[in-house]
Amino acid sequence: MGKTKANKGKASAPRGDGLDLSWMEIEQRGPWDSHAEPSRSGLTLAEISKGAYGEMPDQSDNMTGRPRGAVAREDSFRIGGYEVREKKEIWLENAALLYEEALQRQWSSATDVPWDTVQQLPDDIEQAQCQLATFLTEVEFVAGDVPAKWIAKTTPDYFEARLILLAQVMDESRHMDVFRKRALANGGGLMQRTGGTSGIVGSIDMSRDFTEMSSRLHVSGEGAVLSIFRMGELMAYNDAEKHIYRLCAQDEARHVAFGVMHMRYMNDTAPERREEIHSYLDESERGLLVGQTNPAALQSPTSEAMAIMLGGGRDHYDEGMRRLMAIRKRQVREYMQRVRSSGFGERFENGRSSPELLKYAQAA
């Protein structure tokens, strides 16, 4: 790369040597003398998104997989059926920073969890741990499978958002394997498939665009799981389980942040879609209310397992259920905070949200 801007495009192959170096004479979109200097965090995406290379179109016509900033080829054919070709459909502020955080906070379920601290537990506690691990394995499969479908549907011009989703798939793969490992690490094993994700998967998979999917998955679904992870130490009986919940919580918080920041961007750039997004939140809140107050939901294998762990065994089930109800209320309150942060909080003041949900969240 010793060429300077002055002699760029002057290099030509000697006549008769058989080389075609016409690609060296193409005018680049960005300046030839671009220099990316590492910051204190290293050479991040922010450092290379300078000038023309940091610009992206509000609407993309790139259907050939061309990297953003590269020069188009007239004879290129389509390689992707990109459905997401408007910036507002998937974008979020600070996308590059969120991706860099995902890189910097990767961890290994094999070596970063102190598995040697897992000691024999009473049978009822171990069964409860394994039942919850079975449920979370189901949940994380959905959380990785659904966003993966949107990666290939997004134009390369918005590659930062694609990179975040790719990192999320890796995160969820690790969550799947770490909860499976916990189920099999201490003499227990996988328990009954809960089926608790069946309705969620159906509504998310039927999403017609990315924003609809993200509001259901990132803001509602993963937000509820994040609340469980944050309270995980109350259900942990050793350092290994504490590490699992802490590490999963830091990943899940990033996924939730993606959804909240995208909804905030959509709110600012596409106000005509506000009513549509409110309708997705209406649906999410109906499901949230059923999950919190329906007796059948509270008597599900997952809820009963959590109550046993929170109480310290089957003999203290009532105390465990009391603590579980506190966690459920926290899930609702944290959901409401995410919605407010995303720019749709007026639904809690203007009567759009369910009065029953608000009353439940405010109860002591």
Percent of the chain whose predicted confidence (pLDDT) is above 90: 68
Indicate the pLDDT class of residue 363, thresholds 50, 70 and 90: confident
Question: Is residue 62 included in any domain, yes or no?
Answer: no
Indicate the pLDDT class of residue 6, thresholds 50, 70 and 90: very low
Question: Looking at residue 161, what is its pLDDT?
Answer: 96
Question: Is residue 13 included in any domain, yes or no?
Answer: no
Highest mean pLDDT among 133-147, 254-268, 283-297: 254-268
DSSP string for residues in 331-354: HHHHHHHHHHHHT-GGGGTSS-S-
Question: Looking at residue 360, what is its pLDDT?
Answer: 87
262 in Cβ contact with 93 (< 8 Å): no
Question: Looking at residue 364, what is its pLDDT?
Answer: 55
DSSP string for residues in 228-250: HHHTGGGG--SHHHHHHHHHHHH
Average pLDDT over residues 187-201: 73
Helix-, strand-, coil-residue percentages of the chain, each rounded to 5? 65, 0, 35
Range with lowest mean pLDDT among 8-12, 59-63, 105-109: 8-12
- Residue with structure tokens 């504490």? 242
CA 246 vs CA 33, 79, 113, 240, 253: distances in Å? 44, 40, 10, 10, 11
Question: Is residue 66 included in any domain, yes or no?
Answer: no
User: What's the count of helices (H) and strands (E) in the chain, helices before strands?
Assistant: 13, 0
Mean pLDDT across the chain: 89
> What 3-state class would DSSP assign to 30?
coil
44 in Cβ contact with 37 (< 8 Å): no
Question: Is residue 43 included in any domain, yes or no?
Answer: no
Percent of the chain whose predicted confidence (pLDDT) is above 70: 91
What is the rounded end-to-end Cα distance, in angstroms, of the chain? Answer: 66
Specify the CATH number for the domain of residue 174.
Answer: 1.10.620.20
Question: Looking at residue 318, what is its pLDDT?
Answer: 96
Question: Is residue 5 included in any domain, yes or no?
Answer: no
Please give the Cα distance from 238 to 186 (Å, whole number): 12
Average pLDDT over residues 309-313: 97
Count Cα atoms within 13 angstroms, Cβ side, for 208. Answer: 3
- Residue with structure tokens 């075609």? 20
> Which domain range does residue 304 map to?
87-362
Question: Which of residues 105 and 35 earns the better pLDDT score?
Answer: 105
Report the domain count for the chain: 1
143 in Cβ contact with 172 (< 8 Å): yes
Please give the Cα distance from 132 to 309 (Å, whole number): 10
Please give the Cα distance from 143 to 218 (Å, whole number): 9
pLDDT, tens digit, 9 for 90 and up, residues 326-360: 999 999 999 999 999 999 999 999 999 989 989 88
160 in Cβ contact with 95 (< 8 Å): yes
> What 3-state class would DSSP assign to 181?
helix
Question: Looking at residue 236, what is its pLDDT?
Answer: 97
CA 272 vs CA 171, 255, 275, 277: distances in Å? 33, 25, 7, 10
Average pLDDT over residues 71-96: 90
pLDDT, tens digit, 9 for 90 and up, residues 137-186: 999 998 999 999 999 999 999 999 999 999 999 999 999 999 999 999 99
For residue 7, pLDDT beyond 70: no
Q: How many CB atoms lie within 10 A of CB 43?
A: 11
255 class by beta-carbon count within 10 Å (0-12 exposed, 13-18 middle, 19+ buried):
buried
Question: Is residue 98 included in any domain, yes or no?
Answer: yes
Question: Is residue 268 included in any domain, yes or no?
Answer: yes
Question: Looking at residue 14, what is its pLDDT?
Answer: 52
For residue 316, pLDDT beyond 90: yes
- Residue with structure tokens 């997989």? 65
For residue 292, pLDDT beyond 50: yes
Indicate the pLDDT class of residue 321, thresholds 50, 70 and 90: very high
The amino acid at residue 348 is F
Question: Looking at residue 348, what is its pLDDT?
Answer: 95
Question: Is residue 10 included in any domain, yes or no?
Answer: no
Question: Looking at residue 315, what is its pLDDT?
Answer: 97
Q: What is the pTM of this model?
A: 0.89
Element (H, E) at 168: helix 159-184
For residue 199, pLDDT beyond 70: no
Question: Which of residues 260 and 51 earns the better pLDDT score?
Answer: 260
Q: CA 254, 257, 258, 260: dihedral to nearest 10 degrees?
A: 160
- The single-letter DSSP state of residue 37 is -
For residue 196, pLDDT beyond 80: no
310 in Cβ contact with 301 (< 8 Å): no
